[in-house]
Structure formats: C-alpha cells, structure tokens
Amino acid sequence: MIRLRNGQVRCQKPAGHVQFCGVAGISTHEAAAESTENKGLLVRDYIHSALYEPHKGYFAAKSNAVGAIAEPIRFDRIPGRAAYNEYLSKLYKQHDIAWFTPVEVFQPWYGYAVAEYILRTMDPSAPLKIYEVGGGTGTCANNILTYFKLRAPNVYKSMTYTSVEISAALAKKQKARVETVISHRGHFMVNCGSASDARTWGTVNASPCYIIMFEVLDNLPHDLVYRETPKSPWLETWVVQDQTSKNYVEERRPLQDPLIKRCLDVTTAVSGTSSLVASAKSSLSRLLHLAELSWIPTGCLQLLETLHRMRPNMALITSDFSSLPDVTISGARAPIVASKENGETKDHSTYLEAMGNADIFFPTDFQLLERLDHYSATLFAKTETSERISTVVTSAEFMEQCAQVDKTKTLDGFNPLLEDYSNTKFYINLPTF
C-alpha cells in the first residue's frame, strides 16, 4: 500500500513483468547463483538479477499486474485530501497492487502537461519523435498522442512515438491501450529490449527527438563503494556466498570496474569535493576522517551513455523520487527494500535478502544526475561547441507551468497534483536545436 507522509510518497512498486524480451544486458539469476558460488557478483549485477531476471527476478516472479486505472479520476467530485486518500486506498485494494504511477493517478492531465512542454520546446522544422523508456501500461503514450491530436494536429500527422520496453507482457498491454484510439495506430510502436543496451536502439540516429522516463531511475541498479577515510582508496563491493552458511555476504575489493571508476570520476570532479557526501552526517564523517559508504548510480550512467551515443540530439525529460522516507539501510543514497506479505508492506534491513521476493528502489540525487548526464553528452558530442541546457525543478513547479491544474483540484481546493508527491522532481536536458 502506498504510504503518505507530509505530502511525500513512499511506495512498494508492483510486479507484472511476466515475460521479458530483448537483451537484459546484465547477469541472469542462474548466472548470479553460479557467480556468487565462484568469484561473486558486483552489487549492481546482484541487484539487476534480483529485480529483472526473466524467471525468478522480482518483476517476473510476482503475479500482480502493473497498476492501470481504467477511467480518469474525477477530482471535482472529491471533497478533499482525506476523501482523496480514501479513494486511492480503495483503488489499491480493488486492484490488489501497491503502486499507481502519477501518470495513472492524474491521467490524462499528467501526460498532457508533458506533451505541452514538448510542444513548446520542439524543433518545428523536423517531425516530432518521442521515445518513452519503461512506459508502464501505455497510459502516458496514449495521453500524449491524444493531446497532440487535439492541440496540434499538424504535428500529430507526422509524429512517431516509440516505447522502449524490456517486458513483453507490458509491451503487449501498451500496444493494446494505445491502439484503442484507431488514429494512434500509425504513430505508435514498441521496441522490445533493454534501453541500456545499444542493440535495442539499432543504428545511431542524430535526428532531434525526445526521450521521456517516469519512475525508471529508482529501479536502476547501483554499486556500493567504501573507504576507510577521505584519503583512503575507494573499494568496490562484491556479493559472494559464504561457504559455511551459504548466505550471501559482502566482500570489499580494490577498485577495478571501469563503470564504477567513471561514475566516481564524475562525482568527485566538482571543486575538488565529492558529491557522494549527500548528508550532514556524511559531511561530519569526512571532517572526522570516518569511513564512508556510498551507493552510486552506475546503472543510470550506463543508460545515459547509451542514450547519448545512440540518440545524440535527444532532449531528455525524466521524473523520479528525490528522497525516500524511513530508509534504514546504510550509506548515502541508500535504497528501500520492501516486499508485500499478506497485504502488508514489509521492510528489509538489507538488499541481500532480496532475490526475487522484494523490490529495491533508490532515491535520485538530481544534482548528480545532471552531472552524469552532461558527462555522457560530452562523450558523444559531435563538436566541442555542442551545447545543452539543463534544469531541475520540483514536480509541482513543472505542473504549475505546463498542466491544467484546475482539472486536478478537489472541492475544498486541495490539489494532489501540486501537493502530493512532494519528494519528486523533474530533470530536463535540451540540446540547442
């Protein structure tokens, strides 16, 4: 069940990825078992296997369908905040799931807001191309296409919308949802595969395009690094199987992995200080020369490098959780690990307990995300003078500028589109067309 606290949203997201298509790009569950018995797995590979392995990973093992709300919520008929929360609670029980995305809850207005932003910033001289990574049940695609059909029919005539989806089951649902509007059929397609794998994208395409991702970054694998003092070398963390207990345990090793090294280089390249230190507690640790433990978004960097390589003139729009409440796992930017048992959410004290039975989701450090994105763009820029413009805004700020906010207001004036999800932000990066 979703938990609301001071306008923040804490979620255990559902499963439903019954079958996977394309190339996952990282170790399978069987490979994970074999590797941990031998030399072990990097933490990101362990997490990827725990979440995405086609047969036993969390998003394959659970039977729940990804949450879809059949009809838009009539906010103008809801008395206020308490009634809204009660209404959502009933929806969750009715669908027997733990999580609806903001796109679902605020349909079609959330998708319309994204479409409005794209309409304002697109290059009018080129046909509009939109790629959505992790498109859920197709609600966002359907809403965006509908908005352009109604608001900008000349753009709609030549636009294309491609869903990049790793789950065959969700790809099928997306296609069915979007094609309920007959005119959308000539504009929408699904590309099955991992967005982090260049093969999924085919050949490099330098045409202007938009890539949008909502609630995708939080489930991307991370690595875990450690050092004794600020002057000590970083160590990477591996997951190995203890030969006596057969339990999975952590093992620190000298830093060798190229992806971890690149991610660390980016985070430590600003003013000679490390953005790994994201909290006052971590800052005090540095001043006192205490040990540092940090989760770094290597999965995010891998995805961004692929996107900039394969679609170098993309505009990126992504939204996710900037913080998570009640995190008990150690380390900067640590995840929540949670499962649902007998209708109740159970928090786990370590990610090592998750191997197909629990979700693992991370907060997004948006300052670091911006640095990683600019780094990735620079790697594949055609010229040294290539420029990009980026910004980070709260979800409320984005919606106030682009959404029809009167459509999501309850009878007493409460507006969940602006007042809920206070721990979510948008990151936008545009090329200078």
Q: In the chain, what percentage of residues exceed pLDDT 90?
A: 64
Does the residue 136 lie in any domain?
yes
pLDDT interval class at 386 (50, 70, 90): low
Q: What is the CATH number of the domain that holds 147?
A: 3.40.50.12710
Q: Please give the average per-residue pLDDT across 85-112, as a whole number.
A: 89
Give the number of C-alpha atoms closer than 13 A to the C-alpha of residue 199, restricted to the C-beta side: 9
Element counts in the chain: helices (H) and strands (E): 15, 17
pLDDT at 197 over 90: yes
Give the other-Cβ count within 10 Å of 290's Cβ. Answer: 13
Three-state DSSP class for residue 107: coil
pLDDT interval class at 385 (50, 70, 90): very low
**Structure tokens, 236:** 């990477």
- Spell out the SS3 assignment of 145-193: HHHHHHHCHHHHHHCEEEEEECEHHHHHHHHHHHCCCHHHHHCEEEEEC
24-38, 109-123, 250-264, 287-301: which has the minimum mean pLDDT? 24-38
188 residue type, one letter:
F
Residue 282 is predicted with a pLDDT of 53
79 CB contacts (<8 Å, ≥6 apart)? Answer: 410, 411, 412
203-230 CB burial, b ≥16 within 10 A, e <16: eeeeebbbbbbbbbbbbbbbbbbbbeeb
Q: How many domains does the chain contain in total?
A: 1
Q: Residue 82 is part of which domain span? A: 58-220+297-431
pLDDT at 6 over 90: no
**Mean model confidence pLDDT for the chain:** 85
Does the residue 32 lie in any domain?
no
Three-state DSSP class for residue 266: helix
For the stretch 315-331, pLDDT in tens is 999 999 999 999 999 99
Does the residue 369 lie in any domain?
yes
Cβ proximity of 351 and 249 under 8 Å: no
Can you give the C-alpha Rg of the chain in angstroms? 21
- Spell out the SS3 assignment of 291-311: CEEEEECHHHHHHHHHHHHHC
Report d(CA 225, CA 379) in Å as an integer: 24
Does the residue 265 lie in any domain?
no
Which is it for the CA torsion 323, 328, 334, 338, positive or negative? negative
For the stretch 241-279, pLDDT in tens is 988 888 999 999 999 999 999 999 998 764 344 445 444
Residue 37 is predicted with a pLDDT of 54
Residue 351 is predicted with a pLDDT of 94
Q: Please give the average per-residue pLDDT across 372-382, as a whole number.
A: 89
Name residue 129's beta-bridge partners: 160
For the stretch 122-174, pLDDT in tens is 999 999 999 999 998 899 999 999 999 999 999 999 999 999 998 777 888 89
Give the other-Cβ count within 10 Å of 289's Cβ. Answer: 12
Write out the E strands in 216-341.
223-227, 235-241, 248-254, 292-296, 314-321, 336-341
Q: Please give the average per-residue pLDDT across 360-376, as a whole number.
A: 95
Does the residue 357 lie in any domain?
yes
Does the residue 213 lie in any domain?
yes
Give the other-Cβ count within 10 Å of 339's Cβ. Answer: 19
173-187, 202-216, 350-364: which has the minimum mean pLDDT? 350-364
Nearest to 104 by CA among 75, 136, 145, 134: 136
Helix, strand, coil: what percent of the chain each, to 5?
A: 40, 20, 40
pTM: 0.87
Q: In the chain, what percentage of residues exceed pLDDT 70?
A: 82
Report d(CA 41, CA 47) in Å as an integer: 10
Nearest to 284 by CA among 272, 292, 294, 275: 292
Integer CA distances (angstroms), 102 to 140, 161, 179, 387, 390, in order: 10, 20, 22, 31, 23
Name residue 223's beta-bridge partners: 296
Residue 239 is predicted with a pLDDT of 96
Residue 289 is predicted with a pLDDT of 57
Does the residue 132 lie in any domain?
yes
